[in-house]
Structure 1
Amino acid sequence: MSQGRCSATFATAMMLCLLVLHSGVAEAAIYRVGGAGGWTFNTVSWPSGKRFRAGDTLVFSYNPAFHNVVAVTKAGYDSCTVPRGARVYHTGNDQIRVGRGANYFICSYQGHCQSGMKIAVFG
């Protein structure tokens, strides 16, 4: 009889764990960076008023002939420079997961970051 209870308790615990894991995934949001205009100039203020969480997805939509997305450090964000080893995205439809803490992105094309083509997102 005790084996049955133990099995039932284990099965219930597993179901609860799966439910918790599933609910965490279901809460992840998808954001189109820049809204309808996409990833372009003057998107620096786009994150204002939004609440991001680690695991959310940022979708950067842009023309890859004219722009890119580079994941940078705070120093790279502040100075509009690309640190050595930075991840560069260039598909025109990049999907990037928000990590815990600060996430910084810029366009590295000449003058674009300085024209507000950069965002800081905190997950």
Structure 2
Amino acid sequence: MASKHLAALAILAILLPAVAMATEFTVGDDQGWTINFDYEAWAKDKVFHVGDKLVFKYTAGRHNVFKVNGTAFTNCAIPPANEALTTGNDVITLATPGRKWYICGVNDHCANYGQKLAITVLEAWVSPASAPSTPAASAPSTPAASAPSTPAAPAPSTPAAPAPSSAYGISVSGYQLLMAAMVAVAFLVV
């Protein structure tokens, strides 16, 4: 019976560290979402995956956040005001892979003060530590073009080069992990 417990614990010890946990990124770290900050440099060494969250922190009323396409990002084209996030603690969950663009629509914060962020989001991987440290290097650096009349519509994206899903090159889906956990629990019960 003790050997079954040890086997179950060994299975869990191997599988649980491989599960990708969503990361929460505070955009601009301690500076937050503000003017005169280099968001390109901030994002450069970060790896973003589907499921991660971006938190835009700022004083409500002084800034806002718009999710835009590549053309709107390049031109600092401000979408309609009703599309703005304005709480000062806006959380965006990255739901799909590809390029993502965000701008501030207050005054000329985007065009003249650099308050804009472009990132590349990778698929959700089992082991965040195994993802490449510079995902932007494998994606085009120029934003994808799309019709300026629909700046809030998702822009076409070029997926980043695939990274191994774990240190062992084994992908573990949520279903597979659930099944492994059930097997481990079954060992404990028997």
CA RMSD of aligned residues (A): 2.4
Q: Distance in 2 between matches of 1:106 and 1:65?
A: 15
Task: Map 1:85-104; keep pairs closer than 5 Å.
Answer: 87-98=83-94, 99-104=96-101
Q: Which runs of 5+ in 2 are unaligned?
A: 1-14, 122-190
Deviation of residue 88 (structure 1)? Answer: 1.4
Identity score, percent = 34
Distance 1:79 1:86, change over 3 A: farther
Instruction: Select 1:77's aligned residue among 70, 73, 78.
Output: 73
Tell me what 1:39 maps to.
33
Q: Deviations over 1:64-95 (max 9, x none)?
A: 12100000000010000124698310000000
Whichever residue aligns with residue 120 of structure 1, its letter is: A
For residues 103 and 49 of structure 1, the distance between their equivalents in structure 2, rounded to whole angstroms, comes to 16
Looking at structure 1, the residues matched to 66 and 97 of structure 2 have their Cα atoms a distance apart, in angstroms, of: 17
Match of residue 51 from structure 1: 47
Larger strand percent: 1
Give the letter aligned to residue 119 of structure 2.
V
Aligned residues: 103
Q: Is 1:110 equivalent to 2:120 in the alignment?
A: no
> Counterparts of 2:47 and 2:82 in 1: how far apart (Å)?
25
SS for the counterpart of 1:89 is coil
- Whether the aligned pair in 2 keeps the contact of 1:107 and 1:117 (CA below 8 Å) is yes
In structure 2, the partner of 1:65 is 61
* Cα contact 2:66–2:79 (8 A) shared by 1: no
Question: Structure 1: where are the runs of 5+ without partners?
Answer: 1-18
> What is the match of residue 120 of structure 1?
118
The structure-2 alpha-carbon separation of the partners of 1:95 and 1:55, relative to structure 1 and needing over 3 Å to count, comes to same
TM-score (norm 2): 0.49
* Structure 1 outlier segments of 4+, above 3 Å: 83-87
